[in-house]
Structure 1
C-alpha cells in the first residue's frame, strides 16, 4: 500500500475528529455575520504553517523533527520540543475530556464519565503499543473506508431544513476583520493546528509528497464550512449562539423516513469517536518519540501505561465542562507558539543547513 496514501488518510482522518464539536460555536461566537471569513482565515493560516513546515522538512530528507533539532542544537531542540511536548500532553487531556463529555451528553448519559475517559485513553494506548506508527498509518486507510462515507452522508443530509436567507450578508457592514480581536477565533484554530505536528515525525518512517497534504487540506475545507454554516442556515445566528454543540443539535433533528435508525447522529458520533481515538493515539505516539529520542529510551510497555495513568488522573481533576472550556482558552497562547515557532525555527535551521552544505560542496 502506498505510504503517500496512508499519510494523506492519516492527516485527513485526524483532523475530521476535531471539526464538528467545538469548532462551530467558536467561529460563530467570533463574528455576527459573514462566518466564511474566520473559516477562510483559519484555513489560510493552516495552509501557511503547513507550507513552511513542509519546506523546512524538505531540507532534511528522511529525518524526523526530533533528530533534526538534536543534531543541530540542543538548546534549539528544547526550545521547540519542550513546548510541543507540553502542548501535546495538554491536547490529550482536553481531547479525552471533551470527547467523553460529548459522548455522555449525546448517547451515554447513564455511563459514568470516568469510564468513558478511561476508554478514550486505553484504546489509543493499546493501538500505539501493538501497532506503532506503521499500524496507525494502515489503520487510517481502514477508518477512511469505514467512516468517511457515513460522515459525508450526514453532512449531505444536514442541509434538510436550511434557509439560504441566513447566508447573507456576504460581507459585514462594519469591521470586516473584527473577529481577529475575538478570543473565540483563536480558540477555533485548534481544529486547524491540532494535528499538524505529526508531519514532522513521519519522514523517518514513511515518505510522502507535499502535494498530497495540500490535497488533503482542500478536502477538509468543505467540512469546516458545513460545520459552521449548517447550524447558522437552519436556526439563524442568534439561536445558534445559545447551543453548546450546534452541529450535533442540527444532526439530531434530521428526519429520514426510509432509514432504519431513529437518530442519524449515531452515524456521526460513532465516526467521530473513532477519529478522536485515532487522533489521541497519534498524539501518544508523538509524545513517545520526543521522550524516547530526546530524553531517555524507555520501553513503550512502561511509558504508555504511565502516561495513561497520569493523564487519567489529570482528567479526573477537571470538574465540569466550563473548566474544560477554560482550559481550551488558556491553551491558545501555547498553541499559537507551537504552530508558529515550530515551522519557522525549523525552516531557519533548514536554510542554514542547506547554506552550509553548499559551502562545503564548493570547497570539495
Structure 2
C-alpha cells in the first residue's frame, strides 16, 4: 500500500459522505454565508487530523487500538471504542438505506427495494471480506473512473448559475451552531478514522493529508454552491438530493450524456459501496479484536450484514431516519473528535508495565 493509494481512499471516503448528506444538511442549517459553516467544519477536522496523525507517528507499526491497549488496558479500550462501534453501526444503516432510495429513484424504479438493498450489501460484504488492503489498492482505479463524472456533473451546471443567489455572502449571526443539521455534517470526518487502523511503519504526513483534505474542502464547497447557484436558497432547501437535482437541469444533446443524473448516481453509489465496505471492515476488526476474539472475522461480517439487511427492511421511509441521524450525531462527534483526542492522550501517557 503506497501513500498515494491511502490518500486517494482518504479523499473518496470523504466524497461518499459529501454526496450523500452534506449539501442538504448545510443548506438546511443556514440560509446565508454557507461557506462559513463549511469552513468551520473543516477547520475542526484539520485540528483533529493533526492530533490523530501526531499520535500515530509516535508509535510506528502500531494502530490506534494498540496505543489505547498499551495505555488504558483491555477494559478501558473497550469502553473507549464502544461508542464508536455504535456510531459505525448506525452510519452503515443510514448510508445503505439512503443509497438504496437514490438508486431506486433514478436507476431501478421497477426493482423491489429488498432486491436492490440485497445487491448493494452483497457488494459491500465481498469488498469488506477481501480486506482493507484490497480496497486501498482499488481506490486509484475508482478515482480514475469516477472523478471525471463527478467533476463534469458539477462543472456543467455553470451555464445555469445565477450569481445573485450567492448573496448574502456572510452569516452575521452564525446561527448554524444551534442547528442539529450542522452537527450531522460531522459525519464526513469519519473518512480519516481508517488511517489509525493500519499498523504501518510508513505513516501519512500531516502535510500530505492536509493537501488531500484541501481538495475535499473545495469539492464540499462545490457540492453546496452548485445547487444554491442553480435554484437559490428557498428552492434548494426543499430538495433531498440537491446535487442530483442540479445535474437534472442540464439538457445536453450528446447521446452518452442524455441523462446526466444516471452518471451521477452511478458514481455516488460506487463511492457509497466503498465507504460502507471500509466501515464494515473497521467494525468487524474492532468487534473481533476487542469483543469477539474467538469468533471468526468472516462470521462476524456475515452476522453484521444480515442484521443490517433485516433492519433496513423494517424502515418505513427516508423521513423516519431523521431521528437516527440526529441521534447518531452525538456518537459521531465522539468518534471523530473525542476518540482522536483520547488516542493523543494515550500516546502521551503510556501505561507503566511492571516486570
Give the aligned partner of residue 133 of structure 1: 132
User: What's the Cα RMSD here?
Assistant: 2.0
- Tell me, what secondary structure is at the counterpart of 1:256? coil
Query: How far is the alpha carbon of 1:206 from its aligned partner?
Result: 6.4
Match of 1:257 in 2: 253
2:184 matched to which residue of 1?
187
User: 1:299: how far off?
Assistant: 2.0
The CA distance in 2 between the partners of 1:211 and 1:189, in whole Å, is 22
Q: Distance in 1 between matches of 2:244 and 2:191?
A: 22
How far apart, CA to CA, are the structure 1 residues paired with 2:20 and 2:159? Answer: 20
For residue 143 of structure 1, report the CA deviation from its aligned partner. 0.5
Task: String of CA shifts for 1:191-236, please: whole Å, max 9, x gaps.
Answer: x223221111023486433322211111111211111111111111
**Residue of structure 2 equivalent to 1:320:** 317
Residue-by-residue CA offset, 1:62-97 (whole Å, 9 max, x unaligned): 111222212322243123211111111111111101
Compute the displacement of 1:291 (Å): 1.8
For the 8 Å contact 2:84–2:334, the answer to whether it is kept is no
1:240 Cα shift? Answer: 1.1
Instruction: Please list, as runs of the form range in 1=range in 2, the aligned pairs for 1:1-364 lying within 5 A after superposition.
Output: 3-73=2-72, 74-129=74-129, 131-172=130-171, 174-175=172-173, 177-190=174-187, 192-204=188-200, 207-295=203-291, 296-353=293-350
Q: 2:56–2:196: 8 Å Cα contact kept in structure 1?
A: yes
Asked whether the 8 Å contact 1:193–1:339 carries over to 2, the reply is yes
CA 1:338–1:307 in structure 2 vs 1: closer, same or farther (change >3 Å)?
Answer: same
For 2:255 and 2:42, how far apart are their aligned partners in 1? 34
For 1:29-55, what per-residue CA distance to the aligned partner results, in whole angstroms no more than 9, with x for missing partners? Answer: 111111111111111122121111111
The number of aligned residues is 352
**When the two structures are superposed, what TM-score results if normalisation uses the length of structure 1?**
0.92
Unaligned runs of 5+ in 2: none
- Specify the SS of the correspondent of 1:288: helix
Cα distance in structure 2, aligned partners of 1:206 and 1:147: 28
- Give secondary structure in 1 for the equivalent of 2:350: helix
Check conservation: 2:157, 2:230, Cα contact below 8 A: no
Give the Cα–Cα distance (whole angstroms) in 1 for the partners of residues 322 and 159 of structure 2: 30
Equivalent position SS for 1:179: helix
1:268-293 deviations in whole A, cap 9, x for unaligned? Answer: 11111111101011011111211222
- Distance in 2 between residues matched to 1:285 and 1:260, nearest whole Å: 36
Alpha carbons 1:21, 1:248 under 8 Å: kept: no
Contact 2:70/2:350 (<8 A) preserved: no
Shift of 1:145: 1.3
* Aligned counterparts of 2:20 and 2:75: Cα–Cα separation in 1: 37
Change (3 A) 1:54 1:188: same
Q: Is the 8 A contact 2:288 2:300 kept in 1?
A: no
Q: Is the 8 A contact 1:291 1:297 kept in 2?
A: no
* Contact residue 16 and residue 275 of structure 1 kept, 8 A: yes
Cα pair 1:128 1:281 within 8 Å, conserved: yes
